[in-house]
Amino acid sequence: MIRKLIFGALVALIVAPTAGHAHRPQTFDADEIITDSTISWTLPGTFETGSELYEFGLDYDEPFAAPFEIFSPTSGGNSDFRPRYAIIGPGFPEPTAEVLERLPDGVTVPDGAGIFLELNEDADRYVFFEGVMRRVLVSSGTTALRLAAGQHKVVIWSPEQTTGRFMFGFGVEENFEGGGFNGVFENWSAFAY
């Protein structure tokens, strides 16, 4: 009896840490503006040449605060990759000349909009095991951001045309209802690296 109990406890020990937190997958080519603040999202991408520019829109009826981060999977020699992102929209500080200079070519800032800029330059980055897809990721650092109501644009680019793979994630709530896995299997290589 004791052996059975021990076996059960050991199985629980192995299974428990794999129950993970998961974002709802989304792709950049979905041509969709994200408006639902009650879903956490992840968007994967690859910089093949380093000159690509990834963008998507956010539009909220009321101010919204949630964790934001960009991470790189460490497999395949990707652990040194440090993609950058900016969120452009109302409520963020007005950009200085230095901030504007660090944005990639072709990115414009509407009148009255501010910028949150993540340069992903911390020497020690947070490394974690993501239990749902079972992979190790290194994060830019998670930041809770408060976005004012209205339209925002998220821009992701690679510094100095470095190449690599990334995932952009934000939000907390796990919600896969209403087609939460749409596009995942069609774009499996993007999500399951």
64 interacts with another protein by CB under 8 A: yes
Instruction: Please provide residue 76's backbone torsions phi and psi, each rounded to the nearest 5 degrees.
Output: 65, 30
**Binding of another protein at residue 3 (CB under 8 A)?**
yes
The single residue among 53, 100, 127, 172 that binds another protein, judged by CB under 8 A, is 172
Q: Which of 90, 104, 141, 180 binds another protein (CB under 8 A)?
A: 141
Q: Considering beta carbons, is residue 12 or 123 the nearer one to another protein?
A: 12
Report helix, strand or coil for 133.
coil
Of 9-17, 78-86, 152-160, 178-186, the window that binds another protein (rule: CB under 8 A) is 9-17
- Stretch near another protein under the rule CB under 8 A, chosen from 46-54, 63-71, 74-82, 157-165: 63-71
Cα angle, residue 15 at apex, residues 9 and 21 outer, rounded to 5°: 140
Given candidates 90, 136, 173, 176, which one binds another protein under the rule CB under 8 A? 173
| Burial environment of residue 163 by CB neighbours within 10 A (0 to 12, 13 to 18, 19 or more) | middle
Minimum Å gap between C-beta 20 and another protein is 6
Nearest CA among 118, 131, 98 for reference residue 168: 118
Q: Is residue 37 close enough to count as binding another protein by CB under 8 A? A: yes
Q: Per rule CB under 8 A, is residue 120 in the interface with another protein? A: no
Three-state secondary-structure class, residue 154: strand
**Radius of gyration of the chain from its Cα atoms, rounded to whole angstroms:** 18
* β partners of residue 159: none
How far is it, in rounded angstroms, from Cα 1 to Cα 24? 42
Residues that bind another protein (CB under 8 A): 2-3, 5-6, 9-10, 12-13, 16-17, 19-21, 37, 60, 62-69, 92-93, 116, 126, 131, 141-146, 149, 171-174
